Amino acid sequence: MARMVKHDKNSPYEVPEGTELPLYICACGLSKNKPFCDGTHKKTRDENPADTYVYDDAGRTCVIKQY
């Protein structure tokens, strides 16, 4: 499973001293609360493992289909 996600930042997020741990950091790319996980990865669980998707507010589109 995989997806193409648009990134427009060009410097890292800082997690400052004093932040309570553990933390869960977005890895699926789709969180609306980056850098933190907001649970959106659940939407990716039924992706076809061979295909590549793009997500937007309307849902997802398969952009690379493996036959």
Q: Considering beta carbons, is residue 25 or 62 the nearer one to its own copies? A: 25
Q: Are 40 and 24 in contact, with CB atoms under 8 Å apart?
A: no
Nearer to its own copies, 1 or 62 (CB): 1
Where on the chain is the footprint of its own copies (CB under 8 A)?
A: 1-19, 21-30, 34-35, 37, 41, 44-45, 47, 52
Torsion of CA 26, 47, 62, 9, to 10 degrees: 0
Q: How far is the CB of 57 from its own copies (least distance, A)?
A: 17
Contact (CB, 8 A) for 47 and 53? yes
